[in-house]
Structure 1
Amino acid sequence: MESGLGHRTVPLLLAESSLSGTAKNWSSFLYLCSDMTLEVNYFNETHAVWEPLIERVEDGKRRWNLKLEVR
C-alpha cells in the first residue's frame, strides 16, 4: 500500500502471506491439512527502513504460521 500526491509516493504497508493445503481420502476418512504464513511490515520514513508491524521472531523467522489438521 502506498500514499502520496503526484510523483511523490511513500510506501506504507507490505504484507506477504501464503496458504497451502492438502486433502486425502475424500470418500472414507477425510483428512485435511493446511498451512498459512503471514508477515506484515510498515515503512519507517524517518529511518528509511521496513519495520515489522506484526512481530514474532523465533529461530530467525519473522512469519506467523498457522497449521490446521482435520480428521
Structure 2
Amino acid sequence: MITAKVKAVIFNETTLKSAEINVETYKGVVQLSGFVNSQAEIDTAVRLAREIKGVKSVRNGMERK
C-alpha cells in the first residue's frame, strides 16, 4: 500500500515527469532507485516519499543521468 502511494505522488509531481524512479517498501522503509536529471529531483522524490503516512524512513539509491 505504501509503495502504491509513493509511486502515485511521485508520478503526479510535474517536476519528476522525466525521472525513472523505482519504489520498493519493506516494513515502512522506502527504497528509491533509478535515474533522475538533477539533485533537486532527488530531493523532491525523497521529500514526497517521507510525507506519506506509514513511511518510517527513506533510502535513496537514485543517481543523476
What is the TM-score of this pair, normalised by structure 2?
Answer: 0.24
Greater share of residues in helix: 2
**Which protein has greater RCO, CA pairs closer than 8 Å, 6+ apart?**
2
Select the structure of larger CA radius of gyration: 1
